[in-house]
Structure 1
Amino acid sequence: MKGKILVSACLLGEKVRYDNGDVACHDPRFLRWAKEGLLIGICPEVSGGLPVPRPDSQRKGDRVVTGKGVDVTYEYKSGAQKALSLAKENDVSVAILKQDSPSCGSLYIFDGTFKGVKKSGQGVTAELLRRNGIKVFGEDQLDEAEREIKKITSNS
């Protein structure tokens, strides 16, 4: 069924964030979509082989590095590919991903200095999904996501 939504697993309440924290989304629309079975969760970072907890990472150009300078680009790209495969298997055309993440950020990411500064940009997974025609939104863009979902489900 068209209308499935790929979602960052941390927004579903899964403790997969780098700090093992909880950032579950409690918006009534999001909860309704979950209840209707529309949400398909994935943590690209964990799917790419990174542990929980793990060192904080940020994008520096085309690379992703930890605060100590360890290059984890391979794991991020691997996780992004797994997210894309899952999206294709489930005929996903919309994703709602965790804003600011070096993997899932859709509008903003941290600037790579590890000083808490954000910049316009997107994470590795968000970028790959968009290049493959999937509309990507952050958890702070549920109004836009809802409009897109309604458009898709009314056309199927």
Structure 2
Amino acid sequence: MTARILVSACLLGRPVRYNGSAKTLAHSTLARWQAEGRVVSICPELMAGFSVPRAPAEIGAGLSGDAVLAGEGRVVDIDGRDVTAQFVAGAEAALAVARAHDCAFALLIDGSPSCGSGFVYGGRFDGTKHAGAGVTAALLRENGIEVFSDSEVDALDARLAPVG
């Protein structure tokens, strides 16, 4: 059986980001995975009912998705609205899709309050970022799914080699 990979929809060229843009990842390995039928596209924020475009959101107080899942952190949008519940709902929906498609791996856009896996923005909407994971990346990892950022395609490909 070929391993399936959960992939952020914005990396696949879909204009689903908060500002209506995509973050298309033009990488031959990703194209190969798509041709092999391995890719399962998700956007946790759309799955949670957010629109495109939408107000940008960040995890507050310099925390990360792990703190949000533990009830110790909040996700707020630039207008000060608490959107934590929606981000958690989106993460849970993404996990359900991963389980339904037997995805043991995920390739997610870094920096996002949902999908960030190496870094997230600090909650001040000033461009400051810090090490940490978004809510979806944190929930996937808690449930045994290996999460890679958009800059780690080659590492994910190497990790896939022994499992098919």
Normalising by structure 1, what TM-score?
0.95
Q: Residues 15-35 of structure 1: CA distance to partner in whole angstroms, max 9, x if unpaired?
A: 110001121111100111111
5+ residue gaps in structure 1?
none
Among 80, 84, 95, the residue aligned to 2:95:
84
Match of 2:33 in 1: 33
Is 1:123 the equivalent of 2:134? yes
Among 93, 112, 124, the residue aligned to 2:123:
112
- Separation in structure 2 between the aligned mates of residue 56 and residue 12 of structure 1, nearest angstrom: 20
Q: Which amino acid aligns with 1:35?
A: A
Tell me how many residue pairs correspond in the alignment: 153
Match of 1:140 in 2: 151
Q: Residues 123-153 of structure 1: CA distance to partner in whole angstroms, max 9, x if unpaired?
A: 0000000000000001101121111111221
Match of 1:9 in 2: 9
- Separation in structure 2 between the aligned mates of residue 121 and residue 18 of structure 1, nearest angstrom: 20
SS of the residue 2:163 aligns to: helix
Percent identity reads: 42
CA RMSD in angstroms comes to: 0.9
- Separation in structure 2 between the aligned mates of residue 89 and residue 152 of structure 1, nearest angstrom: 19
Q: Give every structure 1 segment of 4 or more consecutive aligned residues whose post-TM-superposition deviation is greater than 4 Å.
A: none
| Aligned residues of 1:7 and 1:41 also touching (Cα < 8 A) | yes
| Aligned residues of 1:76 and 1:103 also touching (Cα < 8 A) | yes
Q: Which amino acid aligns with 1:29?
A: T
5+ residue gaps in structure 2?
64-72
Q: Residues 22-49 of structure 1: CA distance to partner in whole angstroms, max 9, x if unpaired?
A: 2111110011111111100010001011
Q: Residues 36-78 of structure 1: CA distance to partner in whole angstroms, max 9, x if unpaired?
A: 1110001000101110000000011421100111011111110
Q: Which amino acid aligns with 2:115?
A: C
- Separation in structure 2 between the aligned mates of residue 30 and residue 110 of structure 1, nearest angstrom: 26
| Aligned residues of 2:2 and 2:38 also touching (Cα < 8 A) | no
Q: Which amino acid aligns with 1:150?
A: A
Q: What is the CA distance between 1:2 and its match in structure 2?
A: 4.6
| Aligned residues of 1:44 and 1:76 also touching (Cα < 8 A) | yes
Normalising by structure 2, what TM-score?
0.91
- Separation in structure 1 between the aligned mates of residue 119 and residue 29 of structure 2, nearest angstrom: 23
Match of 1:103 in 2: 114
- Separation in structure 1 between the aligned mates of residue 17 and residue 146 of structure 2, nearest angstrom: 23
Is 1:53 the equivalent of 2:64? no
